[in-house]
Amino acid sequence: MDTGRRVCELTSLQWREKGGKKFPLFLCKNLQVKNNSFIFVLLNQINMAKQIHYLIIATHLPSDSEVVFYDKVEDAKAEFQKRTQEIFALDSNLEEEVDYWCEDDWAVRFNAGNNEALSNFLGDVDHYFKVGTQDVEDDCTYYVADFSEYVDECKIKFFNKQTAVETYNDMIDEGISMQHNNRNQNPVSRYHQDTWEDEDYGTLFMETDNSDGSSDAFFGFSDVYWTYRIGEVKTLN
């Protein structure tokens, strides 16, 4: 006896564009062959994704770098324009590839040390501004950033909370392992703060919690300093 088993039959495949990417949409009809015969269309979008919009403001002092998140990319671009136009207005004679370098329309690096007005405004440290948009899965609510003295080499990736924590810890472990290979310094332990400072080399490593809930791991044992940061993606209201 047929008890009215439902059968899902694929009737067509369509594509919907979202954020510049295409996602498959399956149109199905669900048939019940006994009693109450009916047809309904099930619209199922797979690979659900969202977009994260952000503005990176990286400085030569990596722990002073920041990333700001926005609900709309237009807001990130507006803030980018506000900040960069203020800098360009300091001196109409700023030289491209000397005082600044435009990576693209939404990424620019400013170099301190050549133009006096620019250097004073920047606090004598290089700055890098970049607008970015990243397609991520819906559960990606955390980020891990890599800020370097080489400001235009900063990176940011997005994960769910568990993967973000695992990634951040792995990056710290790898950084500490690199420090252990430096035979001129005493080895650092992440869990013993008395190993973080060296009389000859200064701060080798430091881990801090920030007021916004993010955490930083600073590495200062080599010629180039860098900071790893983990935090929750929180957009400006």
- Unique residue bearing structure tokens 């722990």: 63
What would the mean pLDDT of 156-171 be, rounded to a whole number?
98
The closest of 134, 131, 174 to 158, measured between CA atoms, is: 134
What would the mean pLDDT of 161-188 be, rounded to a whole number?
95
Q: What's the distance, CA 224 to chain centroid?
A: 21
Query: How much is the pLDDT for 184?
Result: 84
| 146: β partners | 155, 228
Q: Please check the confidence at residue 10 and state whether its pLDDT lies above 70.
A: no
Query: How much is the pLDDT for 17?
Result: 54
**CA within 13 Å, CB half, 71:** 2
Residue 20 pLDDT level (bands cut at 50, 70, 90): low
Average pLDDT, the chain: 86
d(CA 215, CA 212): 9
Q: What is the pLDDT of residues 59-116, one digit of tens each?
A: 999 999 999 999 999 999 999 999 999 999 999 999 999 999 999 999 999 999 999 9
Residue 19 pLDDT level (bands cut at 50, 70, 90): low
DSSP 79-105: HHHHHHHHHHTT-TTPPBTTTEEEEET
Query: How much is the pLDDT for 128?
Result: 98
Domain range list for the chain? 6-47, 50-232
d(CA 54, CA 68): 5
Query: Residue 221 in contact with residue 200, Cβ under 8 Å?
Result: no
Residue type, 163: T
Q: Please check the confidence at residue 46 and state whether its pLDDT lies above 60.
A: no
Residue type, 96: E
What would the mean pLDDT of 183-205 be, rounded to a whole number?
94
Query: How much is the pLDDT for 159?
Result: 98
Out of 1-15, 59-73, 117-131, which region has the weakest mean confidence (pLDDT)? 1-15
180 φ, ψ (degrees, to nearest 5): -65, -20
Residue 223 pLDDT level (bands cut at 50, 70, 90): very high
Query: How much is the pLDDT for 236?
Result: 84
**Conformation bin of residue 181: beta by default, left when phi > 0, alpha when psi is -120 to 50:** alpha
d(CA 91, CA 73): 28
| 41: β partners | 29
Query: How much is the pLDDT for 182?
Result: 84
